[in-house]
A and B are shown apart, each in its own frame.
Chain A
Amino acid sequence: MFNSDIFNFMKPKNELENQGEWAESRPFIPDELWVKCPACKNMILTSDLEDNLKVCSKCGHHFRTNARYRINITVDEDSFKEMDADLVSENILDFPEYTRKLKTSKMSSGENESVICGTAEIEGSKTVLCVMDSSFMMGSMGTVTGEKITRAFEYATENNLPVIVFTVSGGARMQEGILSLMQMAKTSGAVKRHSDKGLLYITVLTDPTTGGVTASFAMEGDIILAEPKALIGFAGPRVIEQTIRQKLPKDFQTAEFLLEKGFVDAVVNRKDMKKTLSKLLKLHSKEGI
């Protein structure tokens, strides 16, 4: 049920394909049975990948996941209560192709926007949780994305709750022009008010987190965690290469690179994420551990 994005990965090429009669005699293998790990190129059984939190069992590569799957593996069963699920974007600036893009994104992701917000419990600790979804227009931030995140922070501020945000984003959504840019200021303002009340904000940066999201709420956490090898940056690597006209160093803009440069508190494996978040929440709860 959470495997919609798994179909997007490269299907294994069957060498027998298009080889006349040979091909017809081959056993039937459903296309979605196997996926190829983009890091180690090994073939993995889709069901094994699902069981292993979408992490390659051979090399530890963390596959991208959609937001629902992420919520499912992070929070206590049935504890997630979604907020503002009905907010939807419209083509405010009458931008070319945007109406169609919104429609196809909604269909392919099954979501209304690039972020899902709500309250949840993690090993019994209550928190506000926002999870971005890369399958909705590459997690880009439009006015509704910004609005949902802002409302989540305002709710947390009012109710004295911590906030956890999982980020994945290509940046501000160009199709909403300057109004997307304004979301960077708007969300930052809501983060600041939450912070000034002495409340905890944890960000978890996942692959990829770039542009206007990096330059706003992604980098504003009291504690900033990241998944292994996640691409994290302000400018995308291609833009930088075009600007400076040279190849980028290996591992540039990975989670590990940011850790070394001092911009990430810890790189945490997916299997340890729930435990880590739970520990951090308990360390900041008024009741103590």
Chain B
Amino acid sequence: MSAIDKVNAARANNRPTSIDYINKIFGDSFIELHGDRKFGDDKAIVGGIAKLNDMPVTVIGIEKGRNLKERMERNFGSAHPEGYRKALRLMKQAEKFRRPVICFVDTSGAYCGIGAEERGQGQAIAENLMEMMTLKTPILTILIGEGGSGGALALAVADEVWMLENAIYSVISPEGCASILWKDSSKTAEASECLKITSQDLFSMGVIERIIREPKDLDSKLFDGLKHIIAQTVSKKLEQPIDVLLDNRYNRFRKFGKDSATYLRNDE
């Protein structure tokens, strides 16, 4: 599949959303918790507590909605600051009770609007990046569809980041990139290639740890397999001493631009 095919697959309307993953993996055990305790409840982000086999976990997902009505309700998966603040509240709660955090990301980006700016979209994302880096409990993030820039990263400062085979993760939308670069938003396909946004590209750059193969129909086989490796991974992370976990998390991001001596010249 070419990069633009992946962009289209990642955005396809019939693609499972975060709620599908939560239902299929955690079933009835999921209890949704609402609100950021500061301003409101952002429906673009779903969060709560669930059981993974016998282990309590905190689950947070960016939800696009599965039909038009739901999509409007959920602002097409573009969160406001209160969404990111709700996510952080639930993560802090997870830290307190030493529950692993599992995030599902599917967003074209954080919302661009008057209210979002008034209530500090940039500040909300920045705070998540900072706090997640030292959150004293394991974090696993799975990009299931679109990983749109800062709005996706705000839930992806994790110990491991995985991607569905046909998910994408990018600093800017291919349309945005094309219109800046060539003043022509129809050159989306070219821009998609240049930006290196496919799971294969990102795996080779060390941005993600695992690619989840997608069966033809995203069916129960996928979810059962996923449930198994999520449980395995977070149990292992839970056994690590906290300082080791946090050092690894810091270095996971620290490496981008540091070890790549091939493209850095430094006389240090």
Contact = CB atoms under 8 A, between A and B. Distances in A.
A and B form one complex: yes
Interface of A: 84, 86-90, 92-93, 95-97, 143-144, 146-147, 150, 172-174, 176-186, 188-193, 195-196, 211-212, 214-220, 233-235, 239-240, 243-244, 248-249, 252-253, 261-263
13 contacts: A84-B266, A88-B264, A179-B256, A184-B150, A184-B153, A189-B249, A192-B134, A195-B130, A196-B134, A212-B171, A218-B122, A234-B122, A244-B114
Contacts of B134: 192-193, 196
Residues of B in contact with A, size category: 35 or more
Contacts of B256: 143, 146, 179, 182-183, 186
Nearest to B263: A90
State the main secondary structure of chain A at its contact with B.
Answer: helix
B114 A219 contact: no
B114 A240 contact: yes
Given A185-B129, A196-B134, A235 B121 contact: yes
Interface string B63-80: 000000000000000000
Contacts of B131: 192
A93 B117 contact: no
Interface in B186-219: 194-197, 202, 205, 207
A177 B170 contact: yes
A225 B263 CA distance: 35
Interface in B245-268: 249-250, 253-254, 256-258, 260, 263-268
Contact of A234 (B110, B195, B202, B260): B110
Contacts of A214: 122-123, 126
Contact of B112 (A188, A235, A261, A262): A235
Given A86-B267, A178-B169, A196-B134, A93 B194 contact: yes
A193 B131 CA distance: 10
B239 interface: no
Nearest to A90: B263
Nearest to A187: B129
A40 to B, nearest CB: 27
B264 A243 contact: no
Most chain B beta-carbon neighbours within 10 Å: one of A87, A174, A215, A233 = A215
Interface in B107-124: 110-114, 116-123
Contacts of A172: 149-150, 171-172
B125 interface: yes
Contact of B181 (A87, A97, A188): A97
Nearest to B151: A215
B133 interface: yes
A144 B126 contact: no
Nearest to A86: B267
B263 A219 contact: no
B29 to A, nearest CB: 31
A219 B171 contact: no
A104 B119 CA distance: 38
B171 A178 contact: yes
A177 B257 contact: no
